[in-house]
Amino acid sequence: MSLQIGDTAPDFSAVSTDGNINFHEFLGNGWGIFFSHPADYTPICTTELGRTALLRDEFAKRGTKVIFVSVGDLESHHGWIKDINKTQNCTVNFPVIADPDHKVSELYGMIHPNASSTAPVRSVFFIGPDKKIKAVITYPASTGRNYTEILRVLDSLQLTSQYSVGTPVDWQPGQDVVIATSVKDADIPKTFPKGHRTVNEYLRYTPQPGN
């Protein structure tokens, strides 16, 4: 199954380190990020789960829940979390789904046969309050994720879901954004009272709304 931006994130029920999970109920009415991992007790995954735990406040202030899936079983997950907490100086505070039969990984297309027939790639699904997939980033098993970029993408998605803007290349929160081409020139002063600058008929900048 190949999930694309705009698709509804498939719902499922599974056991996790925080008990039984119904995915859509877990997400509630907020944003969510769903991460996959190739296996338990692997070095890159250990650093990533530790980093996620240390960024708890960053995700919380964005109203975003995080959840992971790995093909290990529940007993393996609990033992691995002890290692993560010890080696990364953190406290894992989010559920890790047990997926030994690969049902969840297959449901989300996380297993790429040309890479591995059993180990999920490092997928990141950004899911909006409407349960729609807003962005997907996929890394090979050998490459750890960039959490600065994950937070940047989340900030962009949340901003552009509220305002008729896009975020330009290398955008960082607080920088100018691009006015959507659907906004007519005559409507800009009312829509963006902070002002704007025009480069040409389709490239118009305005200070980030909502700051």
* Structural contact between residues 129 and 30, judged by C-beta atoms closer than 8 angstroms: yes
110-113: long-range contacts at Cβ-Cβ below 8 A with a sequence spacing of 24 or more?
110/36, 110/69
Nearest-angstrom CA–CA distance, 131 and 119 = 26
- 90 as an active site residue: the answer is no
Helix (H, G, I), strand (E, B) or coil at 8: strand
Q: Please tell me the distance from the alpha carbon of residue 24 to that of residue 120, in angstroms, as a whole number.
A: 21
CA dist., res. 140 & res. 44, Å (int): 11
* Catalytically annotated residue among 9, 27, 45, 119: 45
Nearest CA to 104 out of 34, 48, 42 is that of 34
Active centre residues (catalytic): 45
